[in-house]
Amino acid sequence: MATYSAWDWNINAFRVFRDAKTTSIGDDPAPPRPRALSKLGAVPDKDVKVLPPNTRSIGTSRVAIGEIVRDPRLNTARDAAAAKSGGGDGIGALGDRTAWMPLAPVLVVGTVIAAVIYFSQPQKAAR
């Protein structure tokens, strides 16, 4: 039985699939040829093989089991979520100003404490 893993961005884990195709322990999957390489390399969501038809889901895993493939159904769900949220630029919380709002009071209080400690120490006289 061949085993495949497809990354699901919605659960941050691999979805694991199996089909009835027989494989040998010594058979390594042929790596896909990327369409175009960027300075950082190939894009895993686009440049891996598509999940073969007639596979059945057997669960999820934090690590890939078998051959890594992409499931077009999972990517469409992620793309729809990104379009709905207006995200998808890949910068995560750094692009969201509201994510930094709880940090502002901590920075202000930390700066005040550092200033009090600095100015409460005796200063050396200038020569």
Backbone angles phi, psi at 90, to 5 degrees: 85, 5
Residue 9's alpha-carbon distances to 14, 26, 37, in angstroms, are 9, 30, 22
pLDDT at 30 over 80: no
Residues 6+ apart with CB under 8 A from 10: 74, 77, 78, 81
Alpha carbons 1 and 44: distance in angstroms, whole number: 24
The pLDDT confidence band at residue 113, using thresholds 50, 70 and 90, is very high
pLDDT at 69 over 50: yes
Q: Which residues of 50-89 are buried (b: 16+ CB within 10 A; e: fewer)?
A: ebeeebeeeeeeeeeebbbbbbeebbeeeeeeeeeeeeee
The pLDDT confidence band at residue 89, using thresholds 50, 70 and 90, is very low
Q: Quick: pLDDT tens for 34-52.
A: 666 677 776 666 778 888 8
Work out the burial of residue 4: count CB atoms within 10 Å of its CB; fewer than 13 is exposed, 13-18 middle, 19 or more buried: buried
- Give the pLDDT score at 57: 93
> Of 4, 1, 24, which Cα lies nearest the Cα of 71?
4
Helix (H, G, I), strand (E, B) or coil at 113: helix
Alpha carbons 16 and 3: distance in angstroms, whole number: 7
